[in-house]
Amino acid sequence: MSCKAFNLSPVAGGLGAEISGVDLATPLGEAAIAEIRQALLDHLVIFFHDQHLTPEQHLAFGRRFGYLNVHDFVDGMPDHPEIIEVKKEEYETGSNFGGEWHSDVTYLEEPALGSILYAREVPHFGGDTLFANMYLAYDALSEGMKRMLAGMTAVHSARRAYSPRSNYFSEGRRSMKIRRDNAAEAEVEHPVVRTHPETGRKALFVNRTFTIRFTDMTEEESAPLLNYLYRHATQPEFTCRFRWQRNAIAFWDNRCVQHYAINDYHGQRRVMHRVTVNGDRPY
């Protein structure tokens, strides 16, 4: 497939496309940005190879899509607080950052529009990222399940990952600057099925990391249905897998995508820079 500004090739039936013929380090015109945004809406996650961005250029590209997030619990780069360095050193053998199916920062009242992840240093093998299409996850539910979920809301919180009481962060993540804070105990409610503000499509919007329970239910009562939805949402036919190369970029739509960083590269170094674009309140 060819667009005016670049070439586009789908990578899987579920979601994902690779874009070539564009240099993200250069100031792009409004038409090119509009085509990239449309590609994101059409394919949910888009991949770029052989990009050479300074932190300032990475930020400038992200700002073409909205205001940028400064993470509440993960320190950004000293001179660029909007950039998180997602890092795992050779000596770290524990769990990795993002090593569970999730959508980014859904504990916020206005979760992310999307994230732009740039590979600075990659292992010789391993360290792939999986992505899952939450439109397809919703569409594949039975009509009875859709009726039951319609109008339901769920409680999201950062407590499992960032509360002082959490054991989510193991010693294997010590190279990243993670702050445990009582602010992570805060809760927010989001619809279980959200409507995408640009496409109008419905997407399943619960995830293992930040969804705590259904509104007005206990965690124990909520667990059977939530666990079913988590398993359902990440079936292979809803997913694609991206093998990272140095200087590659993945840009995903957090409103309708979950992702999972595979932790299969112990003894190797992996360094990524992540910029997250703020979103809006789900409805």
Per-residue pLDDT of 240-275, as tens digits, reads 999 999 999 999 999 999 999 999 999 999 999 999
pLDDT of amino acid 169 = 61
pLDDT of amino acid 172 = 47
The answer to whether residue 222 is domain-embedded is: yes
- CB half-sphere exposure, 52, CA atoms < 13 A: 0
CATH number, domain of 236, equals 3.60.130.10
Of the candidates 43, 259, 270, 273, the residue annotated as catalytic is 259
The answer to whether residue 115 is domain-embedded is: yes
Task: Flag whether pLDDT at 1 surpasses 70.
Answer: no
- Least confident window among 60-69, 139-148, 173-182, 198-207: 173-182
The answer to whether residue 144 is domain-embedded is: yes
Of the candidates 102, 156, 160, 190, the residue annotated as catalytic is 102
State what percent of residues in the chain have pLDDT above 90: 90
The answer to whether residue 1 is domain-embedded is: no
Q: Does 160 participate in catalysis according to the annotation?
A: no
Let me know: does 194 contact 202? Beta carbons within 8 Å: yes
The answer to whether residue 33 is domain-embedded is: yes
The answer to whether residue 44 is domain-embedded is: yes
Mean pLDDT of 107-114: 98
Full residue range of the structural domain in which residue 96 is found: 7-277
pLDDT of amino acid 179 = 87
pLDDT of amino acid 170 = 54
pLDDT of amino acid 67 = 98
Count of the separate structural domains present in the chain: 1
pLDDT of amino acid 95 = 85
Q: Does 274 participate in catalysis according to the annotation?
A: yes
Q: Does 259 participate in catalysis according to the annotation?
A: yes
Confidence of residue 19 (pLDDT cuts 50, 70, 90): very high
Q: Does 71 participate in catalysis according to the annotation?
A: no
The answer to whether residue 282 is domain-embedded is: no
The per-residue pLDDT for range 43-55, each reduced to its tens digit, is 999 999 999 999 9
The per-residue pLDDT for range 169-183, each reduced to its tens digit, is 654 457 888 888 999
pLDDT of amino acid 177 = 85
The answer to whether residue 164 is domain-embedded is: yes
Of the candidates 104, 196, 213, 253, the residue annotated as catalytic is 104
Mean pLDDT of 6-34: 96
Q: How far apart are CA 179 and CA 173, in angstroms?
A: 12
Task: Flag whether pLDDT at 189 surpasses 60.
Answer: yes
